[in-house]
Structure 1
Amino acid sequence: MVYVTLAVLVFISQAWGADTLPHMPPNPVKMKHDIMWRSNQLLNKLVDKTYPNVTLVGPPDRLEGLSSLIWLLEGYGDLIPSSETQVKADISSLKGFLSLWRKRHCGAADDRAKSTPAPGSALQRLQSNRSFVPTINIQAHLRVKNLLAQLKDNAAILDKC
C-alpha cells in the first residue's frame, strides 16, 4: 500500500511539474530568476538532508554548461532513494525548467547532452557501486547539493549551451 501511495505521489508531482513548464514566461530574465529560485529552494532542502561532517568522495563535478548540468542532475537524481519523493520531484521539476530554458535559449540544435557517464567519473563510480546503498545515497545528495551550489555561485552556467 505504501508503494502504491508513493507511486501516485511521484506521478502527481511529475505531472504537476510537466504541466507548469509550458506556462513559463518567455521573458529570459524571469525564466532565469525562476530557475535560480527553484535551485536555491532545492539546495536549502538538501542542506538539511546532508550530514555536516561528510564530504564528497573525489573531486566535484565540473559544469561545462547547461547540458552537463541537466545530465548530472538526472544521473544523481536517479541515485536518490525513491522514498524521498519530494526531493526527487524537485530535481525532476528543476530539470524540466532547465530543459525548457535550454530549448528556448540554445535552440533545437543543441543535442550535445551526454547519454552515458564518462569512465571514471563520480557519477559512473556511484552508478556501478549500488551495493553500498547508504553511501551512494549520501554521495548523490552531496553531489546534487554541490551542483546547485556551483549554479548559485555562477549563474552564467545557464548561458552556456
Structure 2
Amino acid sequence: MTKTLVQAISVGLTTGVIVSAFRWIIDQTMKLLYQIYPQMAAQRVLIVPYILLMFIIAITLGKITAPYLEQVIGSGVPQIEAVLLNENKMPWWSILWRKFIGGLLAICPGLMLGREGPCIEMGAMVGQGLAEKVFKSNKENLRTLQ
C-alpha cells in the first residue's frame, strides 16, 4: 500500500467516526422530540421552557459561529470548492468543532436542516487537519486528502 492510500484510509475512518457520532446524536434527539412535542401539545405550559431553551441555543449558536461566519454557514460545499481551487484557506479545527457543535445546536432542537453538507465540510476539515498536523503533507497531498 502506498503512503497516500494509508493516509486516505485514516482520513476516511476518522471522518466516519465524527460523522457517525454527529448523525447518531441527531437521530437520538429526533426520537426524543417525537416524545416531547405531543407532551407540549397536551400541556401548553411546557412550550414556555422550550422557547426559552431555543432562545439560549440561538444565542449560543450565534456566539459560536460569529468568528468564522463566512466559513461555517450553509452546507460548506462552496467553501470546500473554494479551498480546492486555492481561492480560500480555512482553519480546520475552528471550522470542524464549530460545524459539529453548531450543526447539533441547530438540527437537534427540530430545525429541518440538511445533514449532508455539514458532514462533507467536516470530512474536508478532518482531511486538512490530518494532512497538515499528522502527515505533514505537501500541497498536492493536502488537496487529495481534503
TM-score normalised by the chain length of structure 2: 0.35
- Flag the structure with larger Rg: 2
TM-score normalised by structure 1 residue count? 0.32
Greater relative contact order structure (CA < 8 Å, 6+ sep) = 1
